[in-house]
Chain A
Amino acid sequence: MRRRPPPLPVLPERFPPPFRALLHELLARGARARGGRDDRQRARRAVLSHSGTFVGHRPYVPGDDPRRIDWAACARTGELFVKQFEEEQRRTATLVLDLSPRLLVGEPPRALAVRRLAAVVGGLALRHLDGLTVVAPAAGAAAVVRFAGAGMLDALLRHLDDLPVVAAPPAAAIPLVLARGLSGRLHWLSDFAEPEAFELPLAALRRRGAAITGWLPAITEDHDVPRPGYLTLRDPAGGGELAVGLDAALAAAMRHQLALLRRRQERLFAQSGCTLVRWPAPAAGDFTLDAFREIVAWCAR
């Protein structure tokens, strides 16, 4: 007799008021997020931020520097536009989000951690950089959305909150990222459960000079196994299932397999010249500063 599969976990409220308060506090006291250039070129960027090669306009959003408003264009069109220069594109960051149903697994669900992690990283980028591109493969119209200015933090949170749960191969992110020109640091948020699937995308992006940071919210299931018993395990992404009688021997073998997976993930990023950050995902109701300080620290490096 086939038992009905349990429903997929429902994500709790992603960004409750305590998290928003925490996020504002993090952004207010956090270190400056790194964009495409390092700190040694900060002075030069300050000079070039209002110079360089003019590449176009973009609509004004609250929070933009009023000095960058192109009043002539405003006089012609009646709407506010700000100028964009080449250096500005370099001072952006890109978030690539994995929306796979597999991330719904875990306690707390890894998808919740991914979205809050994206909110912190994106918020830091909006506050300290000039732009943020959020790439979510297979998300339809919301696959690529750009944000600029600290005033779009709420828009970023709404966007992250509205992203669907949909599976997409890692390679699907490459054309989305490269379509608008690769600029800034690329933050790839995923569980990297199939490291081999990320080899080609990471290599392709690295050939184009991308600096990639892999963010892996670590949950308990990544290193521990459930209680002994009769388990029917189901993969929410592939639909496969496996019934096992979990005992000590199988638990030990499973821990060994999880250790192998971690090693493969680290070897993947090491071979690609990228950084993999394992961020211990806090509990769904944990909004303490310490739980998220590591993100800020990593972004400041």
Chain B
Amino acid sequence: MVCALTFAAPWQLGWFTLLPLLWWLALPPRPRRQQWTAHLAQWQAAHAALRRQPPRLRGLRLVLLATAASCAIVAGAGPVWRAAPGPSRLTVLLDASASMAARGSADTSAFARADQRLGQVFDTLPPHVDVTLLRCGGPRLRRLGAAARARTDLGVPAGTLDVDLPALAAAVAAQPDTVVWTLTDGQAQAQLPTVGALTVLPAAGPNAAITAVRTVDRWPLPGLSLAVDLVACTDAACRGTLRADGALAAAAQRAVELAPGVPITVAFELERSAAGGELRLQLDVQGDVLAADDAFRAWLPPLPAPRIGVLAAADTTPFAALAARALADEVGGSVVDAATGTEVGFLLVDGGVAPVAPGRVRALTFGSRLAADVDVVPWLQPRLADWDRTSPLCQGLDLSELRIDTAFRGVLPAGAPFLWGEDAAGDRTPLAVLVDGGATASVHFAFRLQDGNLPLLAAFPQLLRRAFVRCHGAAAALVVTTPPPAPGEQDLRTAATAPDRPLPPFRAADRPLAAPLLLAGLLALVLRAFVR
């Protein structure tokens, strides 16, 4: 056991050089004489007559004063009695991967047991031990000090264990005065850490999981197709049910039979409710120890019921009105006259001048000027060069038959082109752009409907619907709220294991000696009051 007295501010010990001054100041006033007398009794009587106390233990006065001063000086230097050496920092590697949510044969999940074990140890941990808690698996979190001891906001088990626990533990343990403590279920690990303390929380058992959900969203139509992949990590075939409910017109349920380790796909053709909401998929299999991967959650946007306004120049064909009617029929909306003061949800403009802010108004324009002062230049018979086959507007559509008699240069705002024309010189010029404003978007074509055969193409209705959906931006998107299933976290039958290793004793707290020394100095001053 090595103990040592150290000082936080040793330079304060320099005040000891003033002790001789203290001794000099403590000397009795001059002149100081020693004298023999034959009348000591008379001196004592005279002293007593004046009610003066004779000096008592006078020699101790300076000793006590010097003791008090020395205690104050040493206390000012911050003396610390260092205890026996040992680790003073604890780093906890907490496996919070999805498999830690498994209950195994216990009543509570492995993660809950780990949390309880952490609480028990932290309650008995000396307060001077610096604790760091690292969440491994899912979102990586680090908690320090009091937040680590309180296990603040560690979340729930999720995600995959994407760190090498043995290597991480070894790296942490290599730091000076540090002890690493790993808490894991051993799932998806070839071996467990060989250094530091280890607590294995077994949670083995059969597990069936939803491994993937593929959706085909027909928004703004109510149709919704789901393809759900299931797998059973069990030793024997098992049966269960897969239920879809929530924001649906009618809940659906399928009985499934899962062979060990064989993935299957269950398809659902669902009709969503117009109000939208949460879509829930729940797999129920008897004896499943991990319920977290048995559910799927997604948020369905409400179906639109837009008021589609039509603006068409007087010299245009009725294609715009017909297109608006067809779109309204498909999305369940209505066509309204786009007069001043009328509220519309989607604007369809053909020719003329439309004061539309690109990207900020859900609009579909065909050869329309966005401002009256825009100079347009006719472009006769542009040749279709190409279209963007990756754009959500054109993906899967055949526009090769598109013929345009007249287009207009200068009517397109700045945006992402998805359709290009080519002039006689071979220069490519956008014929259509998408202006994305985030929550809203607008689509603009450089030609009027009457100046081409676009309304006659088979892809035109689809293009209209896609433009409508795209103009609604994120409001039309299905949002999956369930985290994606973590690979390797489903099969809970084989997990690495090792005997638990306890935490080593930590270094005792350093004992500051300033307070006892100050008390000793104070005591010396009190005693000095009784010494004359």
| Interfacial residues, chain A to chain B (CB-CB below 8 A) | 1-3, 5-6, 8-9, 102-106, 110, 191, 193-194, 221-222, 226-227, 229-236, 238, 240-245, 249-250, 253-254, 256-258, 260-261
Contacts and interface: CB of A to CB of B under 8 A. Distances in A.
B39 A257 contact: yes
Contacts of A9: 36
B47 interface: yes
Given A234-B35, A256-B49, 11 more contacts: A6-B34, A105-B36, A105-B38, A221-B37, A222-B39, A230-B33, A234-B37, A235-B38, A244-B54, A245-B28, A254-B39
B426 interface: no
A258 B46 CA distance: 9
Nearest to B532: A243
Nearest to B27: A230
27 contacts: A1-B63, A3-B34, A5-B34, A221-B39, A226-B33, A226-B35, A227-B31, A230-B30, A231-B33, A232-B33, A232-B35, A233-B40, A234-B36, A235-B38, A236-B38, A238-B40, A240-B40, A242-B44, A243-B28, A243-B54, A244-B47, A245-B28, A250-B52, A253-B50, A258-B42, A260-B42, A261-B39
Contact of B42 (A2, A3, A249, A261): A261
A227 B31 CA distance: 9
A232 B34 CA distance: 5
- Of listed B41, B43, B49, B59, residue having the most chain A CB within 10 A: B43
B501 interface: no
Interface size range on B against A: 20 to 34
Contacts, number: 109
A68 to B, nearest CB: 44
B33 A243 contact: no
A233 B46 contact: no
Given A250-B47, A253-B46, A257-B42, A229 B36 contact: no
A261 to B, nearest CB: 6
B505 interface: no
Contacts of B214: none
A234 B43 CA distance: 10
B63 to A, nearest CB: 8
A1 B44 CA distance: 21
Contacts of B31: 227, 229-230
B45 interface: yes
B176 interface: no
Contacts of A254: 39, 42-43, 46
B36 A236 contact: yes
Nearest to A247: B50
Contact of A233 (B30, B37, B50, B58): B37
A235 B38 CA distance: 6
A89 to B, nearest CB: 35
Across chains A and B, which 6 residue pairs bring their CB atoms closest together, nearest first?
A253-B46, A257-B42, A229-B31, A235-B40, A230-B28, A254-B46
Interface of A, helix, strand, loop or mixed by DSSP: mixed
A261 B46 CA distance: 12
Given A230-B30, A230-B31, A257-B45, A2 B38 contact: no
A215 to B, nearest CB: 16
Nearest to B60: A1
B531 to A, nearest CB: 12
A9 B29 CA distance: 25
Contact of B49 (A227, A240, A253): A253
B35 A231 contact: yes
A193 B35 contact: no
A6 B33 CA distance: 10
Contacts of A261: 39, 42
- Of listed B32, B40, B52, B62, residue having the most chain A CB within 10 A: B40
B233 to A, nearest CB: 89
Interface of B: 28-47, 49-50, 52, 54-55, 58-59, 62-63
A186 B46 CA distance: 34
Contacts of B40: 233-235, 238, 240-242
Contacts of B55: 243
A258 B37 CA distance: 12
B486 to A, nearest CB: 81
A44 B30 CA distance: 67
Contacts of A6: 34-36
B42 to A, nearest CB: 4
A256 B43 CA distance: 10
A226 B31 CA distance: 11
Contacts of A245: 28-29
A238 B43 CA distance: 14
Given A243-B58, A250-B46, A230 B39 contact: no
Contacts of A235: 36-38, 40
Contacts of B36: 6, 8-9, 104-105, 233-236
A230 B42 contact: no
Contacts of A232: 32-35
- Of listed A2, A5, A257, residue having the most chain B CB within 10 A: A257
A141 B63 CA distance: 49
B47 A230 contact: no
A233 B55 CA distance: 12
A194 B42 CA distance: 10
Contacts of A105: 36-38
A110 B39 CA distance: 13
A241 B38 CA distance: 11
Contacts of A221: 37-39
Contacts of B63: 1
Nearest to A219: B38
A243 B532 CA distance: 10
Nearest to A258: B42
Contact of B35 (A1, A102, A104, A233): A233
A299 B433 CA distance: 152
Nearest to A110: B38
Contacts of B49: 253, 256-257
A250 B182 CA distance: 83
A242 B34 CA distance: 10
Contacts of A222: 39
- Of listed A9, A104, A234, residue having the most chain B CB within 10 A: A234
A103 B39 CA distance: 11
B38 A191 contact: yes
Nearest to B34: A232
Contacts of B62: 1
Given A3-B34, A232-B34, A250 B39 contact: no
Nearest to A2: B59
A193 B30 contact: no
A2 B55 CA distance: 12
A247 to B, nearest CB: 9
B217 to A, nearest CB: 99
A222 B38 CA distance: 9
A9 B49 CA distance: 30
B291 to A, nearest CB: 84
A231 B34 CA distance: 6
A231 B31 CA distance: 8
A102 B40 CA distance: 10
Nearest to B54: A242
